[in-house]
Structure 1
Amino acid sequence: MANPSQPLESMRAHPEHDGIIATHYLAIWESYETPSENLLPNARDIILDFLKVGRAQFALASFIAFDGNAPVGSVSCRLNTKSYPVVLKPQYSKEGYLWSVFTDPAYRGRGVARKLVGMAVEHLEKHGCTSVVLHSSQAGRPLYAGMGFELTTEMRLKFEAALALSTQAAD
């Protein structure tokens, strides 16, 4: 239970915390009301493998907040990989990526996410990143904007919409 007078402990997570990180990541999908049948049956194993590979190859780090022994928030970050050829030198364009920003609902509004995101950004900066990218929920936008993140011009086409458009065009 949330105790506003007790300070929370925030730390870099270790591999033994991977189960907590996986639980928090799956809780985010649940908070988006993603039907459980839409998730792969081995989703947890996929997350655990992603963490292991990420630590070995992409400077992945996770940070976690505890209230006593109870984990109440976490975030993970890593060096970002591009979907296109990178032609700029890293000192001009080396991107970090934040993912799985989670705060237990009872602890929201207490600075948990702000503290953890700050730790992740610092980690990425130490690894030479020149920028950090994240995908935000509507609820998270004020937090990230307040930390200096800016909206960008990424656009997305969902194929269901593309199919509907092509069907309309054919009619």
Structure 2
Amino acid sequence: MMSNELQIVPVGPADDPVLVTHYLAIWDSYGTRLEDYAPDATEAVARFIGETRSDGSHGGFLAIVNGEIAGSAICCLLRSPYPEVIKPAVRRRGYIWSVYTEPRYRGKGVGKSLTERAIIHLKTAGCTDVVLHASDAGASMYEKLGFTRAGEMRLAL
């Protein structure tokens, strides 16, 4: 794909339905069954986007190729599940929680460009590092951008 065909543009509230649709499509790609979604899944995603937008940490972007939406990315400050005791100047984590590329645009640099734009947004917001959870399909792209694998432990209950 030629770089002049691809544009990464910031989103506004009018674009939220696209962001919501793309985020749920990611879960679909993991094999999530329709009956496993919360009844208010769409509203929950929209509400979360609104919360991050209102606290100033939201970054949302669309990839546009020849006038068509080719993908999206969403990032924000990482919401810690525990008390933060380290100064933000030392540790202020950003989180990229959705990078989606429409199937026909995959492998053409759309996801990479979206991720790079999200990183710029988080760096500008004062983040010292960025966290994301990569799918198996996306892991190598993120590693090429400098992300390293980190150990997360899980226990099914």
TM-score by length of 2: 0.94
Length, aligned pairs only: 156
Which residue number corresponds to residue 32 of structure 1? Answer: 30
Find out whether 1:116 has 2:114 as its counterpart.
Answer: yes
Q: Which amino acid aligns with 1:44?
A: T
Which residue number corresponds to residue 45 of structure 2? Answer: 47
Which residue number corresponds to residue 156 of structure 1? Answer: 154
Find out whether 1:73 has 2:71 as its counterpart.
Answer: yes
Q: Counterparts of 1:1-171 in structure 2 under 5 Å?
A: 4=1, 7-159=5-157
**Unmatched tracts of structure 1, length 5 or more:** 160-171
Give SS of 1:121's match: helix
After the TM superposition, list the runs of 4 or more consecutive aligned residues in structure 1 that deviate by more than 6 angstroms.
none
| CA distance 1:151–1:58, shift in 2 (3 Å) | farther
Contact 2:11–2:60 at 8 Å: present in 1 too? yes
| CA distance 1:144–1:87, shift in 2 (3 Å) | same
Q: Which amino acid aligns with 2:5?
A: P
Question: 2 CA distance for matches of 1:151 and 1:67?
Answer: 31
Which of the pair has more CA radius of gyration?
1
TM-score by length of 1: 0.87
Contact 2:5–2:66 at 8 Å: present in 1 too? no
**Unmatched tracts of structure 2, length 5 or more:** none
